[in-house]
Amino acid sequence: MYMLHFCLVFKAGLASLQFLTALQQHPTILTHVLCHTNKRLTAKEVEHLFKPDLISTELFMFATGVPCVPPAGIDLTPRLEFLTSSKFPMANTCSNTLKLPLLHCYSAF
């Protein structure tokens, strides 16, 4: 039951940004990003997944605790978790984990 609710909320979030429509029109364009693979991403690859205007230094610092990718890179695989117990985003910089709240609508975020 929870998974069904999560899927509906996730689809509604994607639809609110017209991302769902774009993904339905071009289903293969993000296959390498959205589908599981055993290949570990490097910090450089993660950096290139996002357009510069979509991720800021403040968000990167919030999630990792550093203002930019260090010269040695980041060994830990970045993780994204969803919270049901908080209205605010959280981060665990030791494990490079960004925790986002599951809210009923995009405007509540």
Catalytic residues: 94
Are 99 and 91 spatial neighbours (Cβ–Cβ below 8 Å)?
yes
How many Å apart are CA 109 and CA 97, to the nearest integer? 19
Both ends of the chain: CA-CA distance in Å?
Answer: 23
Residue type for position 20: L
